[in-house]
Amino acid sequence: MRVTAVLCAMGLIGCASLGGGGVGRETISQTVDVPVDTAVRIARTQLQLHNYRVGATSGSTLITEPRAVPGEVRDAANRREAEHWVVRIDIGRKMLGGTEIKVRGFRLPEGAPTTPGSQPPMVPVTDADQRLFHELETIAGWIGDAARRHSDGR
């Protein structure tokens, strides 16, 4: 199972890095004052607290398992009931200090396999999809708020 998760991570990281020709902003970034390893632990915990499953990790990158797009943010006009997505979080040290958290989302095309180890073509979530992009902002907010509480000692 662990080998499958690592292979999945490498495939997803490769696909996600290529992008899909989307138009608009694709990444939510926040800077926090905690070490990278602490930010990774906080991100993992926040995802789990909000019912996301981390399916793959690679260094300071977390990728969730494919899951259905939340019902309240699905494209109501197209009535996409079986739409799935993954969330990718990259955490790294900033050159001038602080730790940067980058949150991106990727849609899995309808009918694409959603099992670990598969490599379906993914479509980046952009700010053109206001409802789903807002979900990414919310995820970044959970992580940033928890990291700030940690750095403040609360």
| Strand ranges in the chain using DSSP code E only, listed in sequence order | 28-32, 54-58, 61-64, 67-68, 84-93, 99-108, 123-124
What does pTM read for this prediction?
0.75
Closest to 139 measured CA to CA, from 36, 48, 47: 47
Kindly tell me the burial class for residue 92, based on how many C-beta atoms sit within 10 Å of its own C-beta (0-12, 13-18, 19 or more): middle
Q: Which domains does the chain have, with CATH numbers?
A: 2-152 (3.30.530.50)
Average pLDDT for 89-102: 92
Mean per-residue pLDDT, 17-32: 71
Name the pLDDT band for 50 (thresholds 50, 70, 90): very high
